[in-house]
A and B are shown apart, each in its own frame.
Chain A
Amino acid sequence: MSNTSKPLRFEKITLTNWKNFASCEIAVGKRAFLVGPNASGKSNFLDVFRFLRDLAVSGGGFQEAIDRRGGVSAIRCLAARRYPDVDIRVVVIDADGSSKWSYGLAFNQDKQRRARIKKERIERDGLLLLERPDSDDKQDPERLTQTHLEQVNVNRPFRELASFFESIRYLHIVPQLVREPDRSVGRTNDPFGGDFLEQIAKTQERTRLARLKRIRDALRVAVPLLAEIELIRDNRGTPHLRGKYEHWRPQGAWQTEEQFSDGTLRLMGLLWVAMEGGGPLLLEEPELSLHPEIVRYLPQMFARVQRRTGRQIILSTHSPDLLRDEGIGLDEVLLLQPSAEGTKVRPAGAFTEIPRLLAGGSTLADAVIPRTRPEHADQLSQFGDL
């Protein structure tokens, strides 16, 4: 992770024909809360950032990023019409707004269904650094199978941007994978937590001890009997987390991650990445398995953490408890609303009723959740008789 002094973050994103999004342009702040019905595209919105990461990461690249998603036709929006290319444009700024990048990539597939770049464009502070296709591309169209972003020998003028994309982190811890790391052998930075314990183990000892202590203090709120947490390695060298629970026995009892509850593991994962710092953090429904009382404090926790680290946090949620927080800005909540023309994304502040409802005593959850309700949710109650 290269960006340490002045963390960069996404400021704006414009999508054309990306999965559910036929056409959308949206500003994102330091925090973004994506809300919407099931299948409205929350994960697909997060996937744009993962796609950019896949372009830049070593062992990744354009073809790999496309293949992982099942090819161009699996990416292109079903509502795509006249303009057939998939087009992604992002604006990236640093913390004090003194530096501004823009990156644009348009692609499609050829007759053999191979992914082809149609345009790639990079600007820094208004200065054009790259515009493709260039004359070389015209002479040798095979070049259009790779972005310049992914190529170390040409990306030097914009390596900072490439490193920023590489620093994006997606986390959706699946407790079963943390408990049984064998299922995701060899994956590093596994978003589902398969190498979560290995990552903790790799952290410098002093940092690790300090973080585990802070996690213990924070976790005691949720799990009052948890007295200590430590990392140990078994005789095969596999790392394990273990926690000591206060108990009727004077010594207490040690449990390893295999016995931790889903909620404890997920909260540990959240707290660990919150302390990491680094590039944008993408979280998928951080409320899962957690007690509503814990969920209510997550937005405040994220706010204080990111004030220190500068880390951008973009998350999806269905949780009224999370949205009840009175410190969430109306520009931080992005509502995804499906339509025949693809999903529309609008900030909560763009709905004139929402500020009025809040002024009348509604919480943000009261004002927003009804707008994210699936259209025919009530029919689910008749499922047994259909």
Chain B
Amino acid sequence: MADGITISVAVEGLVDEAVARRLIVFAGATPGPVYGKQGKPFLRERIAGYNNAAQHSCWMVLVDLDRDHDCAPPLRAAWLPQFAPRLCFRVAVRAVEAWLLADPERIAKFLAVAPGKVPSAPETLDDPKSAMVALARATRRREVREDMVPRDGSGRSVGPAYASRLIEFATSCWRPEVAAQRAESLRRAIDCLQCLAKTP
């Protein structure tokens, strides 16, 4: 079904893009052009435009909940009063890293850490990105640590090839159907995309 419905995408960053693409393919649709990738405020300013465009074609907008609100519905309401039927507006609780952590077996293998170290309820994490970095810090492999964990003095929250590693994981190792069992916001996103993929 690779050439079924095409879904345009708007996301915050590079890792979100890889996750969105993977989910769209998993849902049986084809990823279209990917917009944004310049942070959350960039998307928020343009959400009305994405919603307009979704009057005519299928769209997925994926944002992180972060600590903006306690749960997804108030964030949705704050962004737009009403979404076009073909706009799949999804909120990752609290960040897309939680969705990746929700496949504990695979992420443990990918990062070379003990499976027991992967947080069991990723959607309850306050800051999934720092949880991912903390997990990478515990790796047995030096190259994973050097890529994903920031150096002392770098002043950044992630290492120099953090995004590249997670893109690799999301694209080639991650199982959305397994992860959906531990991440409700992911399950809803998959349902929404599968529904969109069947749009006549």
Contact = CB atoms under 8 A, between A and B. Distances in A.
Interface in A30-48: 31
A329 B40 contact: no
A326 B164 contact: no
B154 A329 contact: yes
Interface in A329-354: 329-332, 348-349
Residue from A297, A308, A325, A361 having most chain B Cβ neighbours under 10 A: A325
Contacts of B147: 303-304, 307
A300 interface: yes
Contact of A327 (B40, B41, B143, B159): B159
Contacts of A133: none
A363 B14 CA distance: 13
Contact of A304 (B13, B14, B154, B161): B161
A211 interface: no
A222 interface: no
B162 A326 contact: yes
B38 A300 contact: no
B147 to A, nearest CB: 6
B161 A330 contact: no
A271 to B, nearest CB: 15
Contacts of B41: 361
A361 B43 CA distance: 12
Given A326-B13, A361-B40, A331 B153 contact: yes
B39 interface: yes
B119 interface: no
Nearest to A327: B160
Interface in B115-174: 143, 146-147, 150-151, 153-164
A301 B161 CA distance: 8
A53 interface: no
A75 interface: no
Interface string A212-251: 0000000000000000000000000000000000000000
Contacts of B158: 326-327
Nearest to B37: A296
A326 B163 contact: yes
Contacts of B151: 329
B156 A328 contact: yes
The list of the 8 closest CB pairs from A to B, nearest first, reads: A329-B154, A303-B160, A330-B155, A300-B164, A327-B160, A303-B161, A304-B161, A349-B155
5 contacts: A300-B164, A328-B156, A358-B155, A362-B39, A363-B39
Interface of B: 13-14, 37-41, 143, 146-147, 150-151, 153-164
